Amino acid sequence: MTEQTQNKLHLDNGFKFRTDDFLVIHKAICDYRKKLAPIVKEKGARIIASLATNVIDLCSCGLDGIVPENTVPYSFALRSVKIRSDVVEATQLSDPDVDFSCSVVVLPCDFGVFGLFYSDHVEFRDIWFRKTIVERFEYWNDGEKPEEISDADWKLRSEQWSSALRKFDGVPSMNGFLAECVGKYDYVVKDMNMLLEYIPDFESRVSEMALRILGLTAIQRDGNEGPFKDLNEFLAWSDTPEGQAELEDKKTVVRSLLFPQITEKRLTSRIK
């Protein structure tokens, strides 16, 4: 991604447009937004359905103390995603499961129209860079140049990016303009039928709850004197024959507790 520290510059998200016609560039960005819209909605449905189902399953297994009172699973899941995405926005920490942001910085300069692409989603990036109007045009001065690029061309890139970012003060868009490609709440899914399509399958739910229940008593935390000092140590043990045997026993119990099917009513009704 874009980095600049004093004289250091690293632009592995850089590109240039093969046109300087802003009407054509605008159309390309609009088309890209339309392409992303259903993908973002699907990703949103998947995480919301998973979190909502998790709330229902926790209560089914008697772990309702983890869930706030008067909880509606769907509303709780939406709120959880929003809180996590707000944290990402405030801290700039990566959390791709809930951060669907995607933007393009457009940088007109003496050498044409350059740009920088921002998103934590590889899928979003790949779709953008497959567009015929876009040519990858990375540059950095903190490491070796790519072998396929000559010294003269690499030096020219340095001059071109210096022109594109001539007023660079840590905010690349101040040299041009920012095009947001995903709305802040585009991930929100209100169609319960769509959410139901992304409910995790029953055996996946059983495995997750069984592992969580074992971990609650096995990991040393919050006064619990379990045999494992941290999550990594516990997960390593769970892959051993002994751990797998205990996990299978716990799965048998969990299967008898979970609802085999998650319905719209369960997603939208208070559960405690």
Q: Note down pLDDT in tens along the chain; length 272 residues.
A: 555 545 688 999 999 999 999 999 999 999 999 999 999 999 999 999 999 999 999 999 988 778 888 899 999 999 999 999 999 989 988 899 999 999 999 999 999 999 999 999 999 999 999 999 999 999 999 999 999 999 999 999 999 998 999 876 667 888 899 999 999 999 999 999 999 999 999 999 999 999 998 888 787 666 667 788 888 888 998 999 999 999 999 999 999 999 999 999 999 999 86
Amino acid 7: pLDDT: 65
SS3 state of residue 212: helix
List the beta strands (DSSP E) in 46-203.
103-109, 112-118, 134-136, 139-140, 177-180
Structural tokens at position 104: 């393009």
Amino acid 68: pLDDT: 81
User: From the CB of residue 192, how many other CB atoms can be counted at a distance below 10 Å?
Assistant: 15
Amino acid 207: pLDDT: 95
Question: Does residue 88 contact residue 98 with C-beta atoms inside 8 Å?
Answer: yes
Phi-psi region of 150 (alpha: psi -120 to 50; beta: other; left: phi over 0): beta
Rounded CA-CA distance 182/251 in Å is 40
Amino acid 272: pLDDT: 66
Q: Hey, where are the domains in the chain?
A: 1-198+262-272
Rounded CA-CA distance 71/23 in Å is 48
Report CA-CA distances (Å) from 196 to 26, 41, 176: 36, 13, 43
Amino acid 100: pLDDT: 95
SS3 state of residue 144: coil
